[in-house]
A and B are shown apart, each in its own frame.
Chain A
């Protein structure tokens, strides 16, 4: 049979070949030219799991861990595996109701789909964890997952150590996307300042996930994984025993204590009252505790050692003396006849505790007796120094001295948001007095009043300068960092620089001031600070202060100020104490400082101090006006809340009306006429109205 159409065989082959060439061209495009598919496949199947490193540990000077890590547990749920489930008993166990249970399950499905585990409850309390572990066989789909948290084993130094929290979008942005959602970062204190050191290095584990986003194993047996590197430890100067003691002494007091090592600038203890247990800001109750602390008007979150601005009062006098001595306007033998008040400016102020008797016959005596007139005059002498021709120029020089003493400037401690206190500039007085003012105008600067304020840290640092006869190291906590890197050295170097700011003041001047301060303890105002066998140098202060409440300037009880250092010849510790509205410097500040000195220098307390410790720790010196302030703040908030939501429950809570039936508060209030209760409610809503406040007082008293 003849074969027709043989040529068509070639056409068919051509069709075959062309089709295959097209397919191969597409394959070449997909596999060789276009590079995007490998990445797409990686995104599909590989899940980079972040391994969070352990944060660094913070040690005190004796190597005790004061900030450590512990393991807590998150309860995870895989909704798809929750089957044959006794919801009721589970809810009873977790102390939630079924509605809440369903909501959380729905949330989990929404967040992560039902086949992947999501957090059901973060950070179980130990009790809940124990209860769950006993019963977990009954609850399929639930599992505990470890989660490291920070613990503060000594329950102290909340302000210093700070706390960590999950990063927010702002942190992420600021870090240039270094942080990722879910990272924790130091939010305050050393945790924030030394974040780079403490955080360690994140590890990554590459895991394979399938098309349902379930993790099914390691990618390439983990050859691309990076191990997490734990954060490095911080070795601090803190003495945790001293710190505990200081915080105990500051219970129920508003104020601060700072203890420095003058030779290194290391901070031995820093307590601010009122304070809180740092463990409150870790663990399951974190958020609730934080809100409570934030809303407290006494400001437990405020570190008054670096943020509290106190008029130094008489504790400033040694500095005034040194300035005058260095300026050559007085000599150590300079005496001032004080008749009980300072008369040379015409208005007879300031008054002086002593009158006559040569209590200010020379510098030493003037310090020991804390003569106001003497120091007001010394201040004037320094400012009106004839070599400056002009009081304003003199004042500028005086201010420079102050800044050299560390007043009115930030010292640069390794804590965030340090305040610089206040040494006013000439411009402030120019503005206030229209340019015409002189040394008489701000006379009380000489006795640490007027507009002068300083933080307790600055006062302690000023003591260091006197004790060191002219130099200081910037106060700081961290002595060294484990496995110190070059970057760390750069960070720490600024704390290793000796600031020889006032070494030009002659030793004789320092010696006479130090002798004067020693006399304060031996025979002057601070006899309460005597410690047998140790030469303590100190200065008391009793500073006036005011607050504005309900639109009125109210004079509050004096602040009790106290500064000291010891031993006199080889200073090992310098302390500044400020107790707000407590009275005389010697009454509260003195014993507090003495107890700390004893503890640090002798490591034991004498019997007198043990008794004092208990007395002071139990004394409640919280200023009375805080209650009123708290009420006002709370009710203002309640009003705002009421305005926004028309929900009066907060108002009722503040008035004790929301208690359950049968509670005394309820009964008491229900006995009152309805009209009065309404008035009370109304008052709570409008707290700023003072006439209504009086009306309310009247209601309460009747």
Chain B
């Protein structure tokens, strides 16, 4: 596609392009597998722009065209306009509030005309990736300072906050992925550690009764104190710190998690979290007034996860074959062309197919990190990490959700899920990276 411009084509990382094409092709095939009606003429349906797979094919064509234009753009254009992108992204996010359409309870979509709709929150990921890279690559930014770290966090979290206001918690969580970029650029490890500990404590609170958990935490604290008793003898401050940490943890378990579940999270979110661990929502977290006490309400999130697991599990080692999956073909799996598209692969091609797909993804991620590390300019490296983090978050959460490891969060599987906006967003993210990488010898600011 870039034969006319040998200078650019020489620097292009073709492996990324090939992986991209491969994934997009798998995506169209999976959507075809999930939505094809027996007896429809295949070729006409693909051309007709009526079926989902046909639409996805056209989206893909459009994305390729856009990617081509991105490759033709000057690489300096992106660092130069990064802040503008960010402002535009925020404006689009704000525009949603007066102009949103109420599709499926989501308030995050702008509709233009009857058929075209647009989700700014998706698009904003590009803006944040660019803006964060721009900020971190400024010569005057000293990222070891707390102030810089806070500014970087604010850049990331501002669009996330706006997205939460649009009831798109899932999309908002994606922005947390950018902390990986900051970590790469020197964010103290303790932030990630605290993040993991918080996640672990939340999960533990769900699984274990909270008083028992408090005792376990005290026990762990005591055990650590015992291990460090020599250090403590020398320095009493360590003991003090251990006590503080344990107290904070217990407080978190006792008060903050229940508070979150009772007052902050929406009902469907609580249900989804509990369905992941395979339990009924406890009565104390149910705010429904209609609910009769003591009787767990039927959990639709539970149904989705169960059916998804059945779909994937029934694929077996080699799968049932394309168009043979009964779970995905006959409507048992919900949202099977978008969020649960992985089920089509899992059911149709079994463990072998799923493994191959995940391998392609991991190759993609590792390739992006390799590309990132060979950049001379900080901007390109940060941007590359941003892309890797976003992809990782999407892939990890989406697949983990379909196999029942993560709560149901409606985020698409990159390049495979049906949807114009998401395909376009991921394409732009990737092709900007390819474009920047083509000029990896240059220092971009």
Contact = CB atoms under 8 A, between A and B. Distances in A.
B405 A12 contact: no
B326 A46 contact: yes
Interface stretch (B51-59, B221-229, B240-248, B358-366): B358-366
- Which 9 interchain pairs have the tightest Cβ spacing? A37-B313, A45-B326, A41-B314, A210-B330, A211-B331, A31-B351, A30-B313, A38-B314, A37-B314
A621 B366 CA distance: 103
A31 B352 CA distance: 10
Chain A: interface secondary structure? helix
Given A22-B405, A23-B358, A23-B405, A31 B326 contact: no
A217 interface: yes
Interface string A10-48: 001101110110111011101110101110111011100
Contact of B312 (A1, A37, A42): A37
A12 B326 contact: no
9 contacts: A4-B186, A12-B388, A17-B362, A20-B362, A23-B405, A26-B403, A31-B316, A41-B314, A41-B347
Given A12-B180, A26-B404, A26-B405, A31 B315 contact: yes
Given A37-B313, A211-B332, A27 B354 contact: yes
A27 B403 contact: yes
B392 interface: yes
Contacts of B332: 41, 44-45, 210-211
Contacts of A127: none
B373 interface: yes
A8 B317 contact: no
A208 B330 CA distance: 8
Contacts of A34: 313
A387 interface: no
Contact of B327 (A1, A19, A45, A216): A45
Nearest to A17: B362
B148 to A, nearest CB: 14
A9 B389 CA distance: 12
Interface residues of A, number: 41
A222 to B, nearest CB: 14
B13 interface: no
Interface string B183-219: 1111000000000000000000000000000000000
A5 interface: yes
Contacts of B329: 45, 208
Contacts of A15: 180
A644 interface: no
A633 B346 CA distance: 70
Interface string B384-405: 0100100010001001100111
A96 B358 CA distance: 63
Given A23-B396, A41-B314, A5 B186 contact: yes
A37 B443 CA distance: 54
A5 B358 contact: no
A691 interface: no
Interface of B: 38, 180, 183-186, 307, 309-317, 326-327, 329-332, 346-347, 350-351, 354-355, 358, 361-362, 365-366, 369, 372-373, 376, 378, 385, 388, 392, 396, 399-400, 403-405, 443
B350 A45 contact: no
A527 interface: no
B392 A16 contact: yes
B392 A9 contact: no
B310 A37 contact: yes
A209 interface: yes
B317 A27 contact: no
B326 A208 contact: yes
Nearest to B185: A5
Contacts of B309: 30, 37
Given A5-B184, A13-B366, A211-B332, A32 B310 contact: no
A208 B327 CA distance: 10
A661 interface: no
A13 B330 contact: no
Given A3-B373, A16-B365, A44-B326, 12 more contacts: A8-B184, A16-B369, A23-B399, A23-B405, A26-B400, A27-B358, A30-B312, A30-B313, A30-B346, A37-B310, A38-B313, A44-B310
A22 B397 CA distance: 12
Contact of A19 (B38, B317, B396): B396
* Most A Cβ at <10 Å: residue of B309, B310, B332, B347: B310
A175 interface: no
B330 A31 contact: no
A93 to B, nearest CB: 36
Contact of B358 (A24, A45, A216): A24
A645 interface: no
A13 B358 contact: no
Given A16-B362, A208-B326, A27 B183 contact: no
B314 A12 contact: no
B351 A211 contact: no
